[in-house]
Amino acid sequence: MINRICSRCGRILPVGERCSCQPAYRRDYNKFRRDKKIANFRASAEWRRVRQQVIERDNGTDQYVLHTTGELRPGFSVHHILPLSTPEGWEARLSMDNLITLSDDTHSSIEYRYKTKFKDVLQQELREIVQRVTEDRARDIAGD
């Protein structure tokens, strides 16, 4: 059997098995490090409603992958183009123009790329995608 070492406590465990220290780590993280304001916002009914509207606007598809590769991929993560941790992002937290549906893989990749010098270029690209989606949606509604 292949083993691994828990990155938090150093215990040796079989691969695929969770360490018993994880609930305590999560509890401490939530208690001492998580931004309470953002956590409360993400638990709000207002956010759940807007999140659902964004997913419906984007037809439940990863818009970044669709517009960059043409591939259809389901998306259930709603990404804030301007991060909630910034004053501008907090002000735009419920703005449909600041939100885009992504798959979990794409969301992780974009969050990683936000830590690079290409953040501004990527944010502009995401804004343009949202604008195209919004215009296409308006055209579809007007054409009905």
pLDDT of residue 31: 67
Residues facing residue 101 across a β-bridge:
78
Flag whether 14 is in a domain.
no
What Rg value do the Cα atoms of the chain yield, rounded? 19
Establish if 62 belongs to a structural domain: yes
pLDDT at 36: 84
Residue 111 makes CB contacts below 8 A (sequence gap 6+) with none
Cα dihedral 62→33→48→101 (10° resolution): -10
Question: What is residue 20's predicted lDDT score, i.e. its pLDDT?
Answer: 85
Q: How many Cβ atoms from other residues are within 10 Å of residue 93's Cβ?
A: 19
Our count of domains for the chain comes to 1
User: What pLDDT sits at residue 24?
Assistant: 76
* pTM (two decimals): 0.76
Q: Do residues 60 and 75 touch, judged by C-beta distance below 8 A?
A: yes
In-domain check, residue 24: no
| Positions of the chain with pLDDT lower than 50, given as ranges | none
- Domain span including residue 129: 50-143
Residue 127: inside a domain: yes
Q: Is residue 22 part of a domain?
A: no
62 Cβ contact partners less than 8 Å away, ≥ 6 residues apart: 73, 74, 75, 101, 102, 103, 106
- 3-5/77-80 β-pairing: unpaired
Is 120 domain-assigned? yes
Residue 18 resides in a domain? no
Within-domain flag for 118: yes
